[in-house]
Amino acid sequence: MWCKECNRETETEECELCGATTESDVPLEIYWCDECKVPVVVCVSDISKDVCPSCHRAISYLCADLRPVFPEERLLLEILKGKPLAFLGQSVWASNNRYYIDGKPAVVTTQAYRKMSANNIREQLEQFAPQNNSDFFDSNIKKFVEVNRSRLAYTIDEAHAFIKRAAASYPRECVVISFSSGKDSTVTADLTIKALGDPSLVHIFGNTTLEFPLTLEYVERYRKANPKAIIKSAINREQEFYRVCEDIGPPARMLRWCCSMFKTGPITRVLNSMYRDKDILTFYGIRKCESVARSKYNRIEDNAESVKIQKQKVASPIFLWKDIDIWLYLFGEDVDFNEAYRLGYDRVGCWCCPNNNERAQFLSQIYMPEQYEKWRSFLITFGQNRPLARRADAHGLCQPRGGAHHRGRQSPAVVSTGANPR
């Protein structure tokens, strides 16, 4: 337990010093080891947090959270900086738009995404791909796991114990895994299967029809790798996304009708048809650090907002994990994952979600040009033809970012679709 008021660890739900309600997780920080060239995950209360557990050299604070930069994204970063393959033998990590190259920060601004055309970037990615090997990356990740082995062991043991407690009163046929194919649900599925020792658990995959092509490929790989798993796809076959957009307008950040229509609704129908009045337990890959709203959830919820089904309890084994914990688990346990992350996406839900940042839109221009142009053309046409859309455009709700053209390339449209699982 942790008291934010006193900035101290305690064993009670109420701080003995100030009386404030304590939180269940002790804050983590990411330090950097110049000798090992890897990030080190430490608890703020650890008295030896400034010493590397591997080489025993002094380490220094780096940031609050971190994700790995795979060779594919690293090459893209190098191209944006005009230095192809310059960081081939360096340890590259990222936090949002801030990159760290051997522990030194390198910011990539949104303007950098507008300086080059997607076609030019694709040409350079193809040109330098044969030289873009992963030898250093693989050895660096191996070292990262080795240095943080104790942290990995702690998170696994704690999550397994939580899963066993949560599932103790449920028959196995009433235990469900919510499987979006994002990294968080992948880790949750792997933890749950191993903790309960049951590879035949039910997985519910919500196919919104707006999934990344790489997502669908990963789901098929997962099916083949887990032949005993019962994987049910929930999909809205009665409505087509673009037609609904024509009728009621494209979804936006403040009006994401797409979630209930193409995700929550189909999943609810599948669960209702399978379980009817039975009490079920669903393991979700929700984490409190993802948003302010999710930080207010409980680790176990009797009534989860994201799935409108009665008699359901939702449990989140990785609720207290950070991004770096997720990647430490995937690497340390050698778990396959959605390859969209290798390209630089930090979220893999609907590829054109209105919650996507400009970097995600930029990546879609490069790696999914046909889908991107189709959606962009639809938004432009809709904005020109619909009076309501024109009024929204006048208020800046449907405008492309950055004005008209940037060196011959039109900027991406802001409005997109769907909720975006990690």
Q: What is the predicted pLDDT for the residue at 329?
A: 98
Paired residues of 63 in beta bridges: 30
- Average pLDDT along the chain: 86
Q: For 124-142, what is each residue's pLDDT tens digit?
A: 999 999 999 999 999 999 9
Q: Are strands 230-234 and 202-206 parallel, antiparallel or unpaired?
A: parallel
Q: What is the predicted pLDDT for the residue at 389?
A: 46
417 located within any domain: no
Most confident of 96-110, 217-231, 254-268: 217-231
Q: Does 407 or 336 have the greater pLDDT score?
A: 336
My answer on whether 241 and 306 are in the same domain is yes
Q: Does 340 or 15 have the greater pLDDT score?
A: 340
Taking the chain, what is the end-to-end CA distance rounded to the nearest angstrom? Answer: 26
My answer on whether 10 and 58 are in the same domain is yes
CA distance 1 to 12: 7
The helix/strand/coil state of 178 is strand
Segments in 45-107 forming alpha helices (H)? 71-80
Q: For 31-61, what is each residue's pLDDT tens digit?
A: 999 999 999 999 988 889 999 999 999 999 9
For 208-322, list the strands marked E by DSSP: 230-234, 280-283, 300-301, 312-315
CA distance 393 to 387: 10
My answer on whether 221 and 301 are in the same domain is yes
pLDDT at 236 over 90: yes
pLDDT at 326 over 90: yes
Mean pLDDT value across residues 393-397 = 41
My answer on whether 172 and 92 are in the same domain is no
Q: What is the predicted pLDDT for the residue at 26?
A: 73
Per the listing, tokens 């699982």 go with 421
Q: Which of 332, 359, 394 is the last residue of a domain?
A: 332
pLDDT at 409 over 90: no
Mean pLDDT value across residues 249-262 = 88
Chain centroid offset of residue 282 CA: 19
pLDDT at 418 over 80: no
Mean pLDDT value across residues 223-235 = 97
pLDDT at 89 over 80: yes
Q: What domain count does the chain have?
A: 4
Paired residues of 21 in beta bridges: 14
At 354, the pLDDT band (50, 70, 90 cuts) reads confident
pLDDT at 412 over 60: no
Per the listing, tokens 């998170």 go with 155
137 located within any domain: yes
- Structural domain of residue 173, as residue ranges? 149-332
DSSP conformational letter for 314: E
Paired residues of 106 in beta bridges: 99
CA distance 33 to 11: 31
pLDDT at 16 over 50: yes
Type of residue found at 153: A
Q: What is the predicted pLDDT for the residue at 376?
A: 93
Mean pLDDT value across residues 289-301 = 72
Type of residue found at 10: T
My answer on whether 53 and 157 are in the same domain is no
DSSP 2-21: EETTTTEE-SSSB-TTT-PB
The helix/strand/coil state of 137 is helix
Q: What is the predicted pLDDT for the residue at 258?
A: 92
419 located within any domain: no
Mean pLDDT value across residues 86-93 = 98
329's tokens: 């688990």
416 located within any domain: no
Most confident of 37-51, 107-121, 250-264, 347-361: 37-51
Segments in 58-134 forming alpha helices (H)? 71-80, 118-128
My answer on whether 155 and 32 are in the same domain is no
Cβ–Cβ < 8 Å for 201, 230: yes
At 255, the pLDDT band (50, 70, 90 cuts) reads confident
Q: For 190-220, what is each residue's pLDDT tens digit?
A: 999 999 999 999 999 999 999 999 999 999 9
Instruction: From 30, 80, 22, select the one nearest 50 (Cα to Cα).
Output: 30
Q: What is the predicted pLDDT for the residue at 306?
A: 45
288 located within any domain: yes
pTM of the model: 0.86
My answer on whether 218 and 268 are in the same domain is yes
